[in-house]
Amino acid sequence: MGNEMKDFVDGTAFNNEQGNRARKLFAAVVLAALDDAIADDKEYGNGREQIARWARSRDGREVLSCAGIDPSERVVAGLMDFVGKGVRTSVALSREESERRNAAQQAEAA
């Protein structure tokens, strides 16, 4: 592999890694918006409307897109449902990870 090809591959890998980091950063913003909406829902009862308004706004659509999430009405409905359940994102993610680990352990035991 020539130097030019190696540089291209290195550059592509670097750009891909940068893209992954950017998506993770924007995903963290989405999680923070969900947590804010859950807090608003518990305090004022308007969290579902808040997350929908944010997700439909220009900034919200851009953040969702940058996080790799299609800013469709189906996604807005899913965000509203998530807020309505009232489970903070950190709890939901750790619960999901715990369930995944348990399923993997059960599969290994079988």
| Average pLDDT of the chain, as a whole number | 91
pLDDT at 88: 93
Global confidence as pTM: 0.78
Residue 75: is its pLDDT beyond 80? yes
30-67 residue pLDDT tens: 999 999 999 999 999 999 999 999 999 999 999 999 99
Runs of H (alpha helix) within 1-110: 3-44, 47-56, 58-66, 73-85, 89-109
Residue 1: is its pLDDT beyond 80? no
